Amino acid sequence: MTKNFSLTATAEPRIATPLVNKLMLLMAGFILIGVAGGIYAQAIGHHHAFANTRDMPWGMLIGTYAFFAIISTGLCLLAAISHIFGGNKLAPLGNRMVWLSIVAIMGAFTVIGLEIENPWRMPIGNIFFPNLTSNIWWMGTLYGMAVGFMFVEFYLILTKKYSAAIVLGVMGAVAEASANSNLGAVFASLGSRPFWYGSQLPIFFLGCAFLSGAAAIIIFTHYANVLRRTEMDKTTFEGMQTAGKIMALMLFLVSIATSWKFINALCGSEETILAAQALLNGPLAINFWIFEITIGLVLPFALLMITRMRSVQAMSTAALMVLVGQFFSRFDLVAAGQIVPIYRGFDDLPTYLSYMPSAAEFSLVIGGIGVLGLGFLLGERFFGKAFETNGHH
């Protein structure tokens, strides 16, 4: 068995089609749109390009960063589980999950890198001026470590050094889980924002990671099979069913956690009650009830239960709905935590602040989607054989 890596050995010729080439160009165009939005913000000033204000300094792009980062964490954790416990039905999807985890975190880094006003300060400050008491510092450091571990893990997979790859995979999973919980703590440790404050969010984000990761591997495995124009083999289908069971379980648990979040909020301070009401029957109600709850939780769970995960198309549709719901869930979380003015009641401040993302913000979201989409297509084209059932370990 050769230990040398060769694109010839891993490339998937069935993906080299005009359709895939056009999709790659489309995704590259999405990235250019995002980069153009970031350059525009740098040119005229982020405070002009983005709709954030002093009262609502975080907007859709923070939620989008969290969305991609949480997907990456879920994929990394599921990949580690599939590789550590060899022989399980999730194992045939493990190698693809490692690659997609890398691609998803790159999408997150793209969005946050274009969103912040001085992105060059981030690596400099992270390395030369560490702040061990900062959740954001730990989040960036741990995600950076996780990416490094996963790149090495993926190279070891390609060179068939599976024992070493498992070790790196576990290290990456620990770093990703720690980074994800720190991401939740960035919100949860802000005492001035009562709707976020508490110990629930770091654990809630981990639950959403498993939900989003399971949904992502289902939908991308289905799309990979469609691009190959072949019938899905039994072991891959069983792997998708296992991911579907994980997704169904996490839909149930995230629904319970969401319910308790609102029960606690409505029993809390006036600020938390108003924030909860903004989602239940206020300015964020459409986002919450239609996209986060109905499309993101209720319909996919019902679809999985009705079809009993016997249909690839049904599982893929449910997974797509989950990802749409999770995107809106991150947006709703960010907006609801700030929508009630801190000094409400003074200077004739309104009950709720207003926020509508700008065109530049939407362009960065499109850029992040482009990174994820192009990364998926490149992975299938150049590493596709490593993702096949007989290539797992």
What does the block give as tokens for 367? 């850029």
- In tens, the pLDDT along 259-297 reads 999 999 999 899 999 999 999 999 999 999 999 999 999
CB 261 within 8 A of CB 200: yes
The reply to whether 88 falls in a domain is: yes
> Quick check: 41 pLDDT over 70?
yes
In angstroms, the CA 18 to CA 128 distance is: 47
Q: What is the pLDDT of residue 126?
A: 83
Q: Give percent above pLDDT 90 in the chain.
A: 79
The reply to whether 382 falls in a domain is: yes
- pLDDT-derived band of residue 1, with 50, 70 and 90 as boundaries? very low
Residues contacting residue 247 through CB under 8 Å, at least 6 positions apart: 211, 214, 215, 218, 300, 304, 318, 319, 322
- pLDDT-derived band of residue 2, with 50, 70 and 90 as boundaries? very low
Lowest mean pLDDT among 77-86, 107-116, 120-129, 302-311: 120-129
Give the angle 233-246-220 at the CA atoms, nearest 5°.
50
Q: What is the pLDDT of residue 391?
A: 46
Kindly state the helix (H) or strand (E) to which residue 208 belongs, with its residue range: helix 200-228
> Quick check: 167 pLDDT over 90?
yes
What does the block give as tokens for 252? 């149930």
Q: What is the pLDDT of residue 342?
A: 85
Owning domain of residue 248: 7-391
Closest to 60 in 3D by CA, of 331, 347, 319, 282 = 331
- In tens, the pLDDT along 357-371 reads 999 999 999 999 999
CATH number reported for the structural domain that contains residue 101 in this entry: 1.20.1630.10
Q: What is the pLDDT of residue 124?
A: 85
The reply to whether 353 falls in a domain is: yes
> Quick check: 247 pLDDT over 80?
yes
SS3 392: coil
Q: Report how far Cα 339 is from the mean position of its chain's Cα atoms.
A: 23
What does the block give as tokens for 29? 């165009």
Give the angle 298-302-304 at the CA atoms, nearest 5°.
120
Annotate 277-325 with DSSP letters as a single string.
HHHHTSTTHHIIIIIIIIIIIIHHHHHHHHHTT--HHHHHHHHHHHHHH
User: How big is the chain, counted in residues?
Assistant: 393
Estimate the crossing angle of helix 94-115 against helix 135-158, to 10 degrees.
140
- pLDDT-derived band of residue 350, with 50, 70 and 90 as boundaries? confident
What does the block give as tokens for 87? 């022989």
Residue 244: φ, ψ to 5°: -65, -40
CA distances from 144 to 102, 139, 187, 195, 340 (A): 11, 8, 20, 29, 34
Closest to 63 in 3D by CA, of 108, 100, 27 = 108
Closest to 201 in 3D by CA, of 149, 267, 254 = 254
| Number of domains forming the structure of the chain | 1
- In tens, the pLDDT along 197-231 reads 988 999 999 999 999 999 999 999 999 999 998 88
Question: Quick one: average pLDDT of 37-57?
Answer: 92
The reply to whether 2 falls in a domain is: no
The reply to whether 1 falls in a domain is: no
Dihedral-angle region of residue 284 (phi above 0 means left; psi in -120 to 50 means alpha; beta otherwise) = alpha
In angstroms, the CA 360 to CA 33 distance is: 9
In angstroms, the CA 250 to CA 216 distance is: 13
CB 250 within 8 A of CB 320: no
Residues contacting residue 11 through CB under 8 Å, at least 6 positions apart: 381, 382, 383, 384, 385
Q: Report how far Cα 306 is from the mean position of its chain's Cα atoms.
A: 27
Kindly state the helix (H) or strand (E) to which residue 93 belongs, with its residue range: none
Mean pLDDT for all residues in the chain: 92
